[in-house]
A and B are shown apart, each in its own frame.
Chain A
């Protein structure tokens, strides 16, 4: 029982990270109907930026929570910029072309970022240890279940970020624009919504959340690797599809389910099926409920 609860706790903290990434996929898909394959690479770069910046920030101050927040903020800012430029340079010129071309470009951007980071003078192909900014400690122990301070911080911050996002999408003017564009781009443009600005803003928001997720992953499992983004991205995408793509609460639920499923697979089956479970879930969802848990079924019109 204690083991089960421990897996539950670990699964939830992993799941909240997946949820953060999944929200980014879901937002972009809702607005552009594009699977942003490069999103996973933005997550990876979020961790890489942190890896570069932490030693620079660490020089005057001791490792502390404040340092963690500084690195998190800087990495989110840089990834927001990156997201803006990815959209501006690679996706915007293709706005009017067939979706398959956008998909191929997205794959191209993803491969480019991955291999560019692998270059020796950028980051290198060898996994590095992420600098320790908060020393891990068990803060809460109950009936054999240990909850570490890292898990608390990660889950707490993830959920606060998602609540902020919910606020932005539903209570601000730009959020209104986002919802309008995802409903119908042309009508939104006719009604005076600055579509290009809204799309840029969506990419910036999604990339900032991805950077946060990357920082959290690197803090919990202290390793940075140029290849880490692909698998994280794929799993988060599965989470987004599971919850109903284009639906933000759905992405959160999907992320939590994915995290739990992965943790239980590792705990009770075998860790070599860690990556297979995500795709198995994806295939089952697409076969039995393609719209996802919270999604609406669309009818194809001629």
Chain B
């Protein structure tokens, strides 16, 4: 009964958000919102690795690229060759899109597994550089595959994604990741973050735990990539360079490593900030946006390294005002 209630609330929220966003806003604001949603998925999933498992990954855009290209290849190259009449209908196409998204996610998850198994034995900054390297290798690899456009980019992707899809997945993935980090495997992630030696002394395989967190994160990044590809309807390998990975890292760091709502807030803030600073560009004639972005990162580290929310979720701040039961002081 409870599940049905939750499912009902969930679909009502998605419909409401999708409906209001796509009917009361112009195309420009809709695109910003869509990018916000995609960045939320990326930031929240990267937080699983960087925040909850304490491993510093810098190659998230690479996994997003895998998901984007796999799902776009399915809908652009494979879908037109299929002659099943069901796939001509509205529902059929959308179901195929869902299938393509999941296939992209699974492909990204597999890539995450292949990258994670060798590289997660490394620690700290070495891991950061290796993941950055893998991200770049994935991008250069895509650059050299001719059937999906190579360096020219993949054009003619059907625009199947919309705000309903994006915000549906945003809600779904946020809840999903929240459930992961509240479960036993999620506690294992945090155990690895807090003390890796102690965790392995407890008889847990830390590499397995880290790879698991990495595969989850890559899977969600792949789905975000698929949504991105079918919203913009054009893919170029240059989009997924390491500056994009840095941007996602900046969102996670700004929100607070280990806070899901922090990542959501930071993703909205930074995506919105970049757009809000566009008038500044018109005013001064120069593109100051990325400079301000980089300065934010430095100043944040110097003054508030734990980010906006630290390791807390937003509702924990409201809990403080409530009276504790039986007069216990928390």
Kindly specify which of B97-105, B117-125, B153-161, B162-170 makes contact with the partner chain.
B117-125
Q: CB < 8 Å: which of A109, A112, A273, A286 contacts B122? A: A286
Evaluate contact between A286 and B143: CB separation under 8 angstroms: no
Considering the complex, which residues of chain A in the window 78-111 have a beta carbon less than 8 Å from any beta carbon of chain B?
90, 93-94, 97-101, 103-105, 107-109, 111
- A302 near B197 with CB under 8 A, answer yes
A121 at the interface (CB under 8 A from B): yes
| CA of A93 to CA of B304, assembled, Å | 12
Contact with B along A265-276 (1 / 0, CB 8 A): 000001011011
Stretch from B29-37, B80-88, B283-291, B311-319 forming part of the interface with A: B283-291
Asked if A165 is at the interface of the complex by the 8 Å CB criterion, the answer is no
Per the bound structure, the CA–CA distance linking A56 and B294 in Å amounts to: 32
- A290 contacts the other chain (CB 8 A): yes
Asked whether, in the complex, the Cβ of B246 is within 8 Å of the Cβ of A111, the reply is yes
- The reply on A282 being an interface residue by CB < 8 A is yes
- Chain B at the A interface: SS class: helix
Contact with A along B214-258 (1 / 0, CB 8 A): 000000000000000000000000000011001001000100000
Residue contact A108 to B301, C-beta cutoff 8 Å: yes
B295 within 8 A of A: yes
B137 in the interface (beta carbon within 8 A): yes
Q: Is A116 an interface residue (CB 8 A)?
A: yes
Stretch at the interface among B8-16, B63-71, B126-134: B126-134
Q: Which residues of B contact A190 (CB under 8 A)?
A: none
Closest to B253 in A: A104
Question: Is B176 engaged at the interface, CB distance under 8 Å to the other chain?
Answer: no
Residue from A109, A234, A279 within 8 A of B134 (CB atoms): A279
Q: A283 and B134 in contact (CB under 8 A), knowing A103-B56, A103-B125?
A: yes
Contact partners of B118 in chain A: CB under 8 A: 283, 287
Q: How many residues of A are in contact with the other chain, CB < 8 A? A: 45
Q: A119-B286, A121-B286, A283-B118 are in contact. Are A107 and B249 (CB under 8 A)?
A: yes
- Is A276 touching B137 in the complex (CB atoms < 8 A)? yes
Bound Cα distance from A94 to B137, whole angstroms? 32
Q: Give the CA-CA distance A98 to B125 in the complex, in Å.
A: 12
A279-B136, A302-B197 known; A107-B246 Cβ under 8 A = yes
A272 and B249 in contact, given A119-B288, A282-B130 (Cβ under 8 angstroms): no
B298 to A119, Cβ gap below 8 A? Answer: no
Of the candidates A104, A230, A241, A287, the one whose C-beta lies within 8 Å of that of B249 is A104
Q: Are A107 and B133 in contact (CB under 8 A)?
A: no
CB contacts under 8 Å to A, within B249-304, are: 249, 253, 285-288, 290-291, 293-295, 297-298, 301-302
- A267 and B243 CA atoms in complex are apart in Å by 29
**What 0/1 pattern do residues 19 to 54 of A give for CB contact below 8 A with B?**
000000000000000110000000000000000000
Which residue of B has the minimal Cβ distance to A124?
B286
Q: Is the CB of B137 within 8 A of A280?
A: yes
Q: Smallest CB-CB separation from A282: which chain B residue?
A: B133
Measured CB to CB, the residues of A under 8 A from B are 34-35, 90, 93-94, 97-101, 103-105, 107-109, 111-112, 114-116, 118-121, 230, 234, 237-238, 241, 270, 272-273, 275-276, 278-280, 282-283, 286-287, 290, 300, 302
Q: Which residues of chain B from 126 to 151 have a CB within 8 Å of any chain A CB?
A: 126, 128-130, 132-134, 136-137, 140-141, 143-144
- B90 → chain A, closest Cβ, in Å? 41
In the bound complex, what is the Cα–Cα distance between A279 and B118 (angstroms)?
A: 14
Cβ-defined partner of B294 (8 Å) among A34, A111, A279, A287:
A111
> Known: A90-B298, A109-B298, A283-B118. Contact between A119 and B144, CB under 8 A?
no
Q: A99-B125, A111-B290 are contacts. A272–B140 as well, Cβ < 8 Å?
A: yes
Chain B residues within an 8 Å CB radius of A34: 125
- Would you call A107 and B140 a contact (CB within 8 A)? no
| B291 engages A272 (CB within 8 Å) | no
Question: Which of these, B126, B137, B286, B298, contacts A279 with CB under 8 Å?
Answer: B137
